[in-house]
């Protein structure tokens, strides 16, 4: 069987799944992109940079291809982490951290010019938002991995907290967009100020080394005046992580909850049901991730398999977030996330069984084997899911994902939508 015939056979099998459904695809005609970015840095500084950057791209390059290339910069750096500093703690070569900064900045640039390219080439479509935000969902894991490596967090609680907080920030914005119909970015937000600050942190690590993040604050002359505000021997790395967590809890979370509350009232939706659908399954997912990592019976920290763990659960998170994005675009009911969360909850319970019931059900070898299997399963699952959704969108809209080509039907749909992507 040739590759072409294999590809055709697989495509036919995917199309036979009837996913997305015809009703979901029909609802794409009501799609309208809406976003609000309150950041002064975006409005008065970066906007001019992005308007210049888009002129560097030829008109023949598809917006989604720009998005994908941007993501590949991050994937390349994740590979560097896995090969050079897999313990997320060792001192890597200076160029590695400069590469982190360049890769993240280019990802952000490409992520912001893809919408401009879509408007330049008159190829705006719902697929653009799905593809863009789907890549962003995966990138949350990649960013947290690079941050952990650049700050030398290692296989510790700080890395676990950073990973969970990064996922939670993106998920809350995604859920908010589902209920409000608007992607809201505040005066200080992750995609703008957060990326700038992270790039500066990467550059710092490249200039002064990872060890500089682990000097107690009271031992740094220029920062010693802050020592009364934090516990003794607190390091800059700890402030970075816990500061990010506090910003999530006290700024981002209340705004999202209030926005969803107002949207539910305006649409006469059951607020309790919205919470049960959107917040509870994801909260369980985050707690299960954290409890698995912090279990004294797990091999993830003990045998240093955190990179594998984050790529596994991060891919599953990408699938979770992408399902919510798809529901938003197709005006569908909020997806049932419990069956996606279940594998992590089950593994968390199995790993912690010695402390729950006093029995051991998983050996170290079994846990590692299952983690490897889950990694392959989640990557395959996400790949097939993405292929099915992208193929469905392309067939309905009459477009191609990574190539600029539209028929009259796509012109009609695109004309009825307004997209920043």
**Residues 35-87 pLDDT 10s:** 999 999 999 999 999 999 999 999 999 999 999 999 999 999 999 999 999 99
* Interval 406-417 mean pLDDT: 41
Would you say residue 326 has pLDDT above 90?
Answer: yes
Structure token digits, residue 161: 């907290």
Would you say residue 8 has pLDDT above 70?
Answer: no
What confidence score (pLDDT) does residue 217 get?
86
Considering the chain, what is the average pLDDT of its residues? Answer: 91
Query: d(Cα 219, Cα 319) in Å, to the nearest integer?
Result: 44
CB 326 within 8 A of CB 389: yes
The reply to whether 133 belongs to the active site is yes
Instruction: Work out the burial of residue 86: count CB atoms within 10 Å of its CB; fewer than 13 is exposed, 13-18 middle, 19 or more buried.
Output: middle
CB 347 within 8 A of CB 295: no
Q: Which of 7, 44, 122, 133 does the annotation list as catalytic?
A: 133
What confidence score (pLDDT) does residue 352 get?
96
**Torsion angle defined by CA atoms of residues 53, 55, 61 and 65, in that order, rounded to the nearest 10 degrees:** 10
What confidence score (pLDDT) does residue 228 get?
72
Query: d(Cα 388, Cα 36) in Å, to the nearest integer?
Result: 30
Q: Is the peptide bond before 20 cis (omega within 30 degrees of 0)?
A: yes
pTM: 0.91
| 3-state SS assignment for residue 209 | coil
Neighbouring C-beta atoms of residue 416, cutoff 10 Å: 12
Least confident range from 206-220, 244-258, 337-351, 407-421: namely 407-421
Query: d(Cα 394, Cα 321) in Å, to the nearest integer?
Result: 21
- The sign one gets for the Cα dihedral 36, 40, 41, 42 is positive
pLDDT in tens, 346-370: 999 999 999 988 898 888 899 999 9
The CATH code of the domain at 31-224+238-415 is 1.20.120.1760
What confidence score (pLDDT) does residue 414 get?
41
Q: Which residues on adjacent β-strands are paired with residue 83?
A: none
CB 87 within 8 A of CB 304: yes
Query: d(Cα 125, Cα 118) in Å, to the nearest integer?
Result: 8
Percent above pLDDT 70 for the chain? 92
Measured CA distances, 284 to 112, 166, 346 (Å): 32, 16, 11
Strand pairing class (183-185; 35-37): parallel
What confidence score (pLDDT) does residue 11 get?
54
Chain Cα centroid distance, residue 116: 22
pLDDT in tens, 241-290: 999 999 999 999 999 999 999 999 999 999 999 999 999 999 999 999 99
Task: State residue 86 phi and psi, 5-degree precision.
Answer: -65, -20
């Amino acid at each position: 069987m040739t590759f072409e015939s294999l590809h055709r056979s697989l495509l036919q099998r995917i199309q036979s799944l009837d996913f997305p459904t015809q009703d979901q695809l029909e609802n794409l005609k009501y799609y309208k992109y809406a976003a609000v970015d309150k950041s002064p840095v975006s409005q008065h500084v970066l906007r001019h940079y992005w308007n210049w950057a888009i002129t560097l791209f030829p008109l023949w390059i598809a917006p989604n291809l720009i998005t994908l290339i941007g993501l590949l910069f991050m994937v390349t750096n994740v590979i560097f982490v896995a090969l050079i500093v897999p313990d997320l703690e060792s001192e890597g070569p200076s160029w590695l951290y400069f590469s982190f900064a360049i890769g993240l900045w280019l990802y952000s640039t490409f992520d912001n010019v893809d919408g401009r390219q879509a408007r330049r080439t008159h190829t705006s479509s719902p697929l653009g938002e799905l593809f863009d935000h789907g890549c962003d969902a995966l990138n949350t894991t990649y960013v947290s991995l690079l941050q952990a490596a650049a700050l030398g967090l290692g296989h510790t609680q700080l890395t676990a907290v950073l990973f969970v907080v990064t996922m939670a920030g993106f998920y809350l914005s995604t859920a908010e967009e589902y209920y409000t119909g608007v992607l809201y970015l505040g005066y200080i937000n992750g995609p703008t100020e957060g990326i700038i600050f992270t790039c500066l942190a990467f550059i710092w690590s490249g200039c002064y080394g990872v060890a500089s993040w682990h000097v107690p604050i009271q031992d740094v002359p220029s920062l010693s005046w802050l020592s009364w505000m934090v516990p003794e021997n607190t390091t800059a790395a700890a402030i970075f992580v816990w500061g990010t967590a506090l910003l999530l809890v006290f700024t981002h979370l209340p705004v999202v909850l209030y926005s969803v509350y107002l949207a539910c009232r305006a649409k006469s939706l059951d607020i309790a049901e919205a919470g049960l659908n959107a917040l509870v399954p994801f909260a369980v997912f985050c707690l299960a991730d954290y409890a698995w990592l912090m279990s004294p019976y797990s091999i993830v920290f003990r045998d240093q398999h955190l990179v594998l763990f984050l790529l596994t659960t991060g891919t599953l998170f990408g699938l979770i977030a992408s399902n919510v994005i798809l529901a938003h675009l197709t005006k569908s009911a909020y997806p049932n996330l419990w069956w996606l969360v279940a594998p992590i909850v089950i593994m968390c319970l199995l790993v912690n069984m010695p402390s729950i019931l006093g029995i051991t059900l998983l050996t170290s070898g079994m846990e590692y084997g299952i983690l490897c299997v889950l990694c392959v399963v989640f990557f395959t699952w996400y790949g097939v899911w993405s292929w099915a959704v992208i193929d469905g969108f392309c067939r309905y809209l009459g477009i191609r994902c990574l190539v600029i080509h539209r028929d009259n039907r796509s012109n009609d749909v695109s004309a009825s939508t307004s997209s920043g992507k």
